[in-house]
A and B are shown apart, each in its own frame.
Chain A
Amino acid sequence: MKAPFNEVISGFVSLLTGMGITLGQLFRPIVTVQYPHQTLTMPKRFRGHILLKKEPTTGKSTCVACDLCVKACPSDCILVEGEKKPGEKRKSVTLFELDYTKCSLCGACVEVCPVDALEYSRAYNLASTSKQEYKVMDLVKRLEDSKHP
């Protein structure tokens, strides 16, 4: 006889407890980021698409066009060409194209690079109206255009 009454009372108390918890949340600060107005800075180990690193002393890439990244790429989305310039011991890169529409961001190219010439970018909110912009990303040109060392 007592059980149904206890159930009703304890059920009602648990409803009030729940409402107390939500009321507590009502007065706590907002935790979401208002996206177009505020953006999060990506953490250091964020893996965006790859970029050629800039050598601080020369301002050029250290890439030797060895084609290891091309072979390591599971999606076959990297194209590298290089030439041996007169007076230099190693080849240097002349063309580094990334097909970002196929890239799966696995990072195999970064792992395999013997001269540590590749890095991840922090770009995460990429958008374009044409596919071509990501079909052929000229990383050598990006390196030359980039301001940062």
Chain B
Amino acid sequence: MIIPEPFRLLTSLLAVAGFIGANAAYLVWVERKAAAWFQRRAGPTEVGWGGLLQPLADAIKLMSKQIIVPPGTDRLLFCLAPVLIMVPAAMCFAVLPFSAALVPRDINVSLLMVFAFGSLNVIAVMLAGWSSRNKYAIISAARVVSQNVAYEIPMLLVVITVLMVSRTMNLTEIVAKQAGGFWHWNVFNLAANPLMPVTFVIFFICMLAETNRAPFDMAEAESELVAGVFTEYAGMGFGVFFMAEYANIVAGCAMATILFLGGWHSPIGLWPGVWWFLLKMYFLIFTVIWVRWTFPRTQFYGLLNLSWKILIPLSLFTLVLTSGLLKIFGR
């Protein structure tokens, strides 16, 4: 179905905003329920059936709170930081292909665009920490910058591997090339590179680190840094950071699905469609939650050691291996 242009823009905008909003609200509920079940508790049960209206209650609570800008902060940057973390996260959704036809904007450098906007998130966290005029926030901001720089490298090296295999930066085409059964997916594309499953794991770990999720949640680190960069934020200022975290997770898991798990393609060739994409994406999101409630936060040295000593050499090796195999065997 072709929608004429201004309406296409408007519907895409509404759909993306609705998708991000609904996901941010209900992933919080899923996270709280899953956390409770992992710890054999019941989780939210009071508001609505099974606590299903809990996100609404949380939203009302956050919105009714005063947004306090502490004295002595850099007011402009302090207010800009939540906007700056939300906008790039939302921008990624403009090019994510949910299915062959369901993509807001099908541009030929969509892969580059997602990662360009994805890397802006660290600047927003840095701004939030810097402008808060709070020692915990600044410590946390400094940690987050070194963490995100460390994990950006293996992530992009892994993405270059996928890029070399699929020979296009268009996300829709990358998925299209993985058609026909799960053995054609990039994660099982052992002909191009026998280490493909390893690159997927590297991508997933880097995605966890880039979105500042446990066990790499140095941005919040509530047990040592109060709430890290979010310490001075109240009400919806904090709420936007929270929403952006979930928007980033959804975008990251969607990218993992597109790059490695064959996007909207069915693993067995039956019933192709957007539901396969959503199924794979939500499974990855569940894994993100599962990892959070399994592992404690790593030490900062451990975090950087993992990146510089293991992930970067491994991803460089897979990159060289892939290019060598492509050179020898070609396509």
Which residue numbers of A lie inside 8 Å of B, CB to CB?
A: 8, 12, 15, 18-19, 21-23, 25-26, 28-32, 34
Contacts and interface: CB of A to CB of B under 8 A. Distances in A.
8 tightest Cβ-Cβ pairs between the two chains A and B = A22-B294, A32-B41, A31-B40, A26-B37, A30-B42, A19-B294, A22-B38, A18-B294
A65 to B, nearest CB: 49
Contacts of B45: 34
B290 A25 contact: no
Contacts of A19: 290-291, 294
Contacts of B295: 15, 18
B38 A26 contact: yes
Contacts of A32: 40-42
Nearest to A22: B294
A29 B39 CA distance: 10
A70 B39 CA distance: 47
Contact of B310 (A8, A18, A25): A8
B38 A25 contact: yes
Query: How big is chain B's contact interface, by range?
Result: 10 to 19
B216 to A, nearest CB: 13
Contacts of B275: none
Residue from A22, A23, A29, A31 whose CB has the most chain B CB atoms within 10 Å: A22
Interface of A is mostly: helix
Given A8-B314, A22-B294, A30-B36, 5 more contacts: A22-B293, A23-B290, A30-B40, A31-B40, A32-B41
A20 to B, nearest CB: 9
Interface of B: 34, 36-42, 45, 201, 290-291, 293-295, 310, 314
Contacts of A26: 34, 37-38
Nearest to B294: A22
A34 B201 CA distance: 39
B317 to A, nearest CB: 11
5 contacts: A22-B294, A26-B37, A30-B36, A30-B37, A30-B41
A31 B45 CA distance: 15
Contacts of B41: 30-32
Contacts of A18: 294-295
Contacts of B40: 25, 28-32
Nearest to B201: A12
Contacts of A25: 37-40
B204 to A, nearest CB: 12
A9 B201 CA distance: 12
A36 B295 CA distance: 32
A30 to B, nearest CB: 5
Contacts of A29: 40
Nearest to B42: A30
A22 B314 CA distance: 28
Contacts of B314: 8
Nearest to B311: A8
A15 B39 CA distance: 18
A18 B295 CA distance: 8
